[in-house]
């Protein structure tokens, strides 16, 4: 039976109209969301990510940001302008590297290999001769704003310590916060201005010492070539704001890439893997492993007290000499085989990779004589060894909590009561 709309009752007409209206609005919203996402992806691929919204711009300075300033900063610190021309030399050199990597593979036939090479060369030529559109959406005044923000003498721009975004600090505030860190004479020593830079001297010293170790067969020729640095750069320290904490304190980061001790530190990390594994029985690698472990935790509200501990400034407060002694005890007096060089050599190598590192900050040269730096290849593994060693010592004196796990300096534990957690903390 066919029911004609003209003969339907008034409320039937109303229901039909509302149904078609809702369907129309739903369709419009769905297509709008779909194509807006598509357009954002196109803009991101061409002009860089624009994921940093104005809500992720943390202006902790006295500078008043205009709308244009926020628009420029909304691109994030990873924003880049596409090039206006193609570097043909770079393109063809990368093609040659790709062809060289094919030597480890056997072609099905010489004709297929020749066709493949011709195809790559043709693609490279067509790419080099293609026209690249300039960043027309970025007007000239946007470039001027970005340049002015970058060279502003009274502000310091960086990313936050955790997460994405842009943090703006007054330069005086940035320097004063860093001064509270570097003024700790038990951890840092100020050597002087840039004339005290000993990068070249340290490079020559390490080269001679590594050569001495190679001649005595303490290290192989392969290791010698690996840790021997040429053309070293001076390490630099900078700070990232902990915006999730009160007053946004700074986390000092040491950039050691390219320094005279960087490859040495990376090699020592390989040697210390056995020590780290021994003292990592309570550690998790990531949040996935933590969720896997916590599945077996049975909670009872009457006798379970969940606690999260955080070690204050762990990296800076790790006693370096004590941690090196812990490593020596396990490597040279433990169950595993020791390294192919004597213990004094290992201690000297560790000190060269830590205590002997000079770095610059605000045109001054410093040296960290105790603690370890975040950014150094040895930072994470030494911190984990130190904490893991004392965890094992602690659990031999007192009964461990019903559940305990740690990721670097963040600890999660389950106790029977609040008093038990306090006893554990004071132990």
Q: Count of CB atoms within 10 A of residue 85's CB?
A: 9
Residue pLDDT, tens place only, 95-112: 888 777 777 777 788 888
pTM value? Answer: 0.73
Token pair belonging to 282: 């309570």
Residues constituting the chain: 427
For 113, counting Cβ atoms within 10 Å of its Cβ (0-12 exposed, 13-18 middle, 19+ buried), the class is middle
Distance CA 386, CA 391 (A): 9
Tell whether 266 is covered by a domain: yes
| Residue 316 and residue 307 in contact, taking contact as beta carbons nearer than 8 Å | no
- On whether both 126 and 68 belong to a single domain, the answer is yes
- On whether both 385 and 237 belong to a single domain, the answer is yes
Please give the tally of structural domains in the chain: 2
Nearest to 40, CA basis, from 53, 56, 22: 53
- On whether both 129 and 252 belong to a single domain, the answer is no
- On whether both 248 and 358 belong to a single domain, the answer is yes
- On whether both 156 and 191 belong to a single domain, the answer is no
More confident residue, 132 or 314: 314
Q: Is residue 32 over pLDDT 80? A: no
- On whether both 198 and 109 belong to a single domain, the answer is no
Tell whether 41 is covered by a domain: no
Tell whether 126 is covered by a domain: yes
Which H or E element spans position 167?
Answer: strand 166-170
- On whether both 207 and 129 belong to a single domain, the answer is no
- On whether both 191 and 138 belong to a single domain, the answer is no
Q: Phi then psi for 134, rounded to 5 degrees?
A: -75, 165
More confident residue, 18 or 287: 287
Residue pLDDT, tens place only, 117-162: 888 888 888 877 776 655 555 667 788 888 899 899 999 999 998 8
Q: Is residue 192 over pLDDT 50? A: yes
Distance CA 348, CA 302 (A): 54
Residue pLDDT, tens place only, 340-388: 899 999 999 999 999 999 999 999 999 999 988 888 999 999 999 999 9
Nearest to 164, CA basis, from 51, 60, 85, 248: 51
Tell whether 424 is covered by a domain: no
| Residue 398 and residue 389 in contact, taking contact as beta carbons nearer than 8 Å | no
Distance CA 206, CA 218 (A): 15
**Which residue intervals of 246-302 are DSSP H helices?**
262-271, 273-278, 287-294
- On whether both 188 and 154 belong to a single domain, the answer is no
pLDDT at position 415: 84
- On whether both 91 and 238 belong to a single domain, the answer is no
Nearest to 60, CA basis, from 197, 128, 133, 158: 158
pLDDT at position 137: 54
Tell whether 190 is covered by a domain: yes
- On whether both 90 and 145 belong to a single domain, the answer is yes
Residue pLDDT, tens place only, 157-185: 999 988 888 999 999 999 999 999 999 99
Tell whether 350 is covered by a domain: yes
More confident residue, 39 or 33: 33
Q: Residue 50: pLDDT band by 50, 70, 90 thresholds? A: very low
Distance CA 37, CA 53 (A): 15
Q: Which of 312-323 are b and which e, b meaning 16 or more Cβ less than 10 Å from the residue's Cβ?
A: eebbbebebeeb
The boundaries of the domain holding residue 87 are 58-168
Strand order in the sheet with 403-407: 305-310, 410-415, 403-407
Q: Residue 225: pLDDT band by 50, 70, 90 thresholds? A: very high
Q: Count of CB atoms within 10 A of residue 274's CB?
A: 16
pLDDT at position 43: 59
Distance CA 406, CA 309 (A): 9
What are the residues whose beta carbons fall under 8 Å from the beta carbon of 332, sequence distance 6 or more? Answer: 338, 343, 346
Instruction: Provide the 8-state DSSP code for 83.
Output: P
């Amino acid at each position: 039976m066919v029911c004609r709309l003209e003969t339907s009752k008034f409320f039937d007409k109303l229901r039909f109209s509302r149904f078609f209206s809702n369907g129309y609005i739903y369709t419009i919203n769905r297509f709008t969301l779909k194509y807006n996402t598509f357009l954002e992806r196109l803009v991101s691929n061409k002009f860089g990510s624009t994921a940093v919204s104005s809500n992720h711009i943390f202006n902790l300075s006295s500078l008043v940001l205009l709308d244009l300033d926020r628009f420029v900063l909304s691109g994030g610190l990873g924003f880049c302008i596409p090039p206006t021309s193609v570097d043909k030399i770079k393109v063809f050199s990368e093609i040659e590297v790709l062809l060289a990597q094919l030597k480890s593979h056997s072609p099905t036939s010489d004709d297929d290999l020749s066709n493949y090479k011709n195809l790559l060369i043709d693609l490279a030529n067509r790419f080099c001769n293609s026209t690249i559109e300039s960043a027309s959406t970025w007007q000239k005044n946007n470039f001027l704003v970005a340049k002015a923000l970058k060279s502003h003498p009274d502000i310091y721009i960086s990313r936050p310590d955790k997460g994405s975004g842009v943090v703006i600090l007054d330069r005086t505030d940035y320097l004063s916060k860093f001064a509270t860190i570097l003024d700790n004479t038990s951890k840092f020593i100020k050597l002087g201005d840039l004339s005290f830079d000993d990068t070249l001297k340290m490079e020559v010293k390490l080269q001679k010492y590594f050569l001495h170790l190679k001649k005595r067969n303490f290290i192989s020729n392969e290791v010698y070539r690996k840790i021997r640095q040429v053309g070293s750069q001076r390490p630099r320290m900078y700070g990232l704001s902990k915006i999730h904490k009160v007053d946004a304190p700074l986390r000092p980061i040491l950039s050691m890439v390219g320094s005279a001790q960087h490859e040495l530190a990376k090699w020592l990390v390989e040697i210390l893997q056995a020590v780290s594994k021994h003292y990592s029985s309570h550690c998790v690698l990531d949040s996935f492993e933590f969720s896997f472990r916590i599945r077996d935790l049975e909670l009872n509200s009457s006798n379970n007290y969940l606690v999260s501990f955080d070690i204050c400034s762990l990296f800076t407060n790790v006693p370096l000499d004590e941690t090196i002694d812990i490593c020596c005890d396990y490597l040279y007096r433990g169950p595993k085989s020791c390294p192919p060089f004597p213990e004094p050599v290992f201690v000297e190598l560790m000190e060269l990779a830590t205590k002997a590192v000079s770095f610059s900050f605000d045109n001054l040269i410093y040296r960290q004589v105790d603690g370890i730096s975040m950014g150094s290849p040895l930072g994470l593994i030494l911190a984990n060894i130190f904490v893991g060693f004392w965890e094992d010592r602690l659990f031999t004196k007192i009964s461990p909590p019903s559940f305990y796990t740690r990721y670097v300096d963040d600890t999660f534990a389950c106790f029977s009561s609040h008093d038990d957690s306090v006893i554990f903390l004071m132990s």
